[in-house]
Amino acid sequence: MTPNELFDLSDRVAIITGGAGGIGTVYARALCEAGASVVLADLNLDAAEAAAAALTADGHAASGTAVDVRSTASAEAMAAHAAAVFGGVDILVNNAAIMTDLPPYGLSDIPDDQWDRVMNVNFRGPLLCTQAAIPHMQARGGGRVVNGLSSGGFMPGGIYGVSKYALHGLTLNLAAELGGRNITVNAIAPGLVDNDSGYASLPKDSPFRDAIAAQIPGKPSGPPSDLVGVLLLLCSAAGEWITGQSILVDGGWNLRF
């Protein structure tokens, strides 16, 4: 295959949860530009439809739909929407998460309802969406699942870090379980992302940001477009032999031995 063929996603159908968000919209455009038809699924239907309309206006195949990743029925409706509009599901990007409106508690005192609020979106949501996508992927002979982790999942980070580390575990276990069905399951773990959510969780002018940046050997932060190369790798023929991997894109913030 030529390099272009390796990353070509023509005839592929992708779903991105949290598709109306800062990273989701960038992922959606990248997958469209690689040739895929893309469903942008989000709790915020108006924003998902607006983001899809912007892609359609540029000649891409995109559709917005509502999803609440906490609900099996909603996840199944999302997958059915992709099948009805574009003919199937090949790629699922589990990108929706709570990262800015986090409970103001440590793990030692977090109330049950606050634990559930975060874990149901950040951890259970990717499982429910994957379960909903599997039959559609099998009908097409296989598929790709890409989970949205965080570099923060590999260091102490309270409930958010726990939810992302749990998703790392889900990535490994689903990869083992779904390999025989020709479905790869991987994850992207971004570091400090230069977007609204990134700045909401760690303000641009915070002294902590400078302190963290001083510890990062490579580029300390980057825009969502810096994640696109790994996304395309994991969704395309180029990544056919890769599964069960959580790939850190964080300038070496988290050097794991």
Ligand X SMILES: NC(=O)c1ccc[n+]([C@@H]2O[C@H](COP(=O)([O-])OP(=O)(O)OC[C@H]3O[C@@H](n4cnc5c(N)ncnc54)[C@H](O)[C@@H]3O)[C@@H](O)[C@H]2O)c1
Helix (H) / strand (E) containing 13:
strand 13-17
- Using CB under 6 A, which residues numbered 35 to 54 contact ligand X? 42-44
Alpha-carbon gap, residue 77 to 51, rounded angstroms: 20
How far, in whole angstroms, is CA 238 from its chain's centroid? 19
From 55-63, 97-105, 134-142, 238-246, give the range in contact with ligand X by CB under 6 A: 97-105
The answer to whether residue 17 forms part of the interface with ligand X (CB under 6 A) is yes
Of the residues 88, 126, 148, 220, which one makes contact with ligand X according to CB under 6 A: 148
Of the residues 97, 145, 174, 232, which one makes contact with ligand X according to CB under 6 A: 97
Per-residue tokens: 200: 């909401």
Among candidates 163, 151, 133, 135, which has minimal Cα distance to 230? Answer: 151
The answer to whether residue 76 forms part of the interface with ligand X (CB under 6 A) is no
Among candidates 126, 124, 248, 257, which has minimal Cα distance to 188? Answer: 248
Give the 3-state secondary structure of residue 216: coil
The dihedrals phi and psi of 127, each to the nearest 5 degrees, come to -65, -50
Of the residues 9, 13, 20, 187, which one makes contact with ligand X according to CB under 6 A: 20
Alpha-carbon gap, residue 233 to 187, rounded angstroms: 11
The answer to whether residue 23 forms part of the interface with ligand X (CB under 6 A) is yes
| 160 has catalytic annotation | yes
In the complex with ligand X, which residue's Cβ is closer, 17 or 37?
17
The answer to whether residue 78 forms part of the interface with ligand X (CB under 6 A) is no
The nearest distance, CB 20 to ligand X, in angstroms, is: 4
The answer to whether residue 21 forms part of the interface with ligand X (CB under 6 A) is yes
- Using CB under 6 A, which residues numbered 183 to 242 contact ligand X? 190, 193, 195, 197-198
**141 CB burial (10 A radius; 0-12, 13-18, 19+):** exposed
Contact residues for ligand X, defined by CB under 6 A:
17-18, 20-24, 42-44, 67-70, 95-100, 121, 148, 150, 190, 193, 195, 197-198
User: Which residues are tagged catalytic?
Assistant: 160
